Amino acid sequence: MPRWGMVIDLDKCTGCQSCSAVCRAENSVPFAGPEQAALGRAIFWQEVLEREVLGHYPFLETQFLPRLCMHCDNPPCVKVCPVGATFRNEEGVVLMDYDRCIGCRLCATACPYGVRYFNWSVPQFPAPLVQALNPDVPLRPKGVVEKCTFCIHRLEAAKASAAEEGRELSDAEVVLLTACNQACPASARYFGDLDDPESTVSRLARSPRAFLFLEELGTEPRVYYLKGE
C-alpha cells in the first residue's frame, strides 16, 4: 500500500505562483472576486506564502513557502469532524466528502496550517472559466469546506491505467502527477510513495535538508520541505 507524500525544494522555488494558478484551474476552485478576497473569503488550495524578507534592496533575499494541505498522518481536522466528512484514506490522503459536510468549520479552526477553506457563498466562476471547469473534479456546493486532494482524480486515473496494463505504478509516472508539480517551471516539487525506499520523495525526505512544517505539533505532515542551503 503506497503512502503518498510530497517534497518541495525551497532552494529551487522561485515564488512564481505557477503551482497556485494551475491548481485553481485543475480543481475548479471558485473565484471570490477582489472584494470578497479582501475580506478573507478567497480559496487557495495551493498558495505561495512569503516568509520573511532578509536584508535591503538590492541585497535581499525572500523565502517562499508553497503551502498546500499537509495530508498529515495525524490530522487534527479529521479528529474533530463531527460527521466523518473529512477522512484520511488508506493511502494517507486526507479527503473531503462534500455531500456529507455540515459546514460547522470546526476542522478549519483545528487545522494549524490554515489549508481548509469554506464556501461562504455559491461558488462562482467568471464567464469564460465556466467552460474550462475540470469534468474530473466535483464542484462544491455552498456552505461546505474544501481543500487540496493531492489531485486524487489524477492519481486514480493513473492507477486505473496501470491496472489496465497489468503493471505497477512507477515512480517516474507519479513524481509530477499533481497539477502543481507538473506546472512547476523550477522542478521544485516531487510527488510519490513515501513508503517506497527507492522513490524520489522518500530519498529526498531523508535528506539532511528536509524539514516538516510545524513539526512540533505532532501532526506528522506528509509534505516535506528542503530548506535553502
Partner 1 sequence: MTAQDEETLLLAPLTRTSRRFVLFMGLLLAVVVGGALAYLRQLIDGLVVTGMNRPVYWGVYIVNFVFFIGLAHSGTFISAILRLVGADWRKPLARAAEAITVFSIPFGAASILIDLGRVDRTLNVFFYGRFMSPLIWDVVSVGLYLFSSVVFFYLSLLPDIARCRDRLTDVPRWQHQMYRVLALGWQDHPERYRRLEKVLGGMAVFMAMLVVIVHTVVSWVFGMTLQPGWHTAILGPFFLVGAIFSGSGAVVVAMAVLRRAFHLEEVLTLKHFNYMRKLLIGFTLVWLYFMVAEYLTTFYGQEVEEMLVFWEKFTGTYAIPFWAMFTLCFAVPLVIFLTKGKRSIGWMVAAGLSINVGMWLERYLVIVPTLTRPRLLSELAMGTYTPTWVEWAVTAACFAGLLFLYALFTRFFPIIPIWERSEEVEAYLHEAEE
When the beta carbons of 40 and 128 are compared against partner 1, the nearer one is 40
Number of residues that bind partner 1 (CB under 8 A): 44
When the beta carbons of 140 and 154 are compared against partner 1, the nearer one is 140
When the beta carbons of 202 and 219 are compared against partner 1, the nearer one is 219
Three-state SS at 156: helix
Of 130-149, binders to partner 1 (CB under 8 A) are 141-145
Of 179-208, binders to partner 1 (CB under 8 A) are none
Q: Is 68 in the site for partner 1 (CB under 8 A)?
A: no
Binding segment for partner 1 (CB under 8 A), chosen from 11-19, 44-52, 194-202, 221-229, is: 44-52
CA distance 42 to 76: 22
- Measured in degrees and rounded to the nearest 5, phi and psi for residue 88 equal -110, 120
Three-state SS at 71: coil
CB atoms within 10 A of CB 67: 21
Three-state SS at 161: helix
Cis previous bond, 141, omega within 30: no
Q: Give me the least distance between CB of 110 and partner 1, in Å please.
A: 4
CA distance 133 to 163: 27
- Contact between 173 and 162 (Cβ < 8 Å): yes
Of 69-128, binders to partner 1 (CB under 8 A) are 76, 79-85, 100-106, 108-110, 112-114, 117-122
Task: Please report, as ranges, the residues that interact with partner 1 according to CB under 8 A.
Answer: 36, 39-41, 49-52, 65, 67, 76, 79-85, 100-106, 108-110, 112-114, 117-122, 141-145, 214, 217
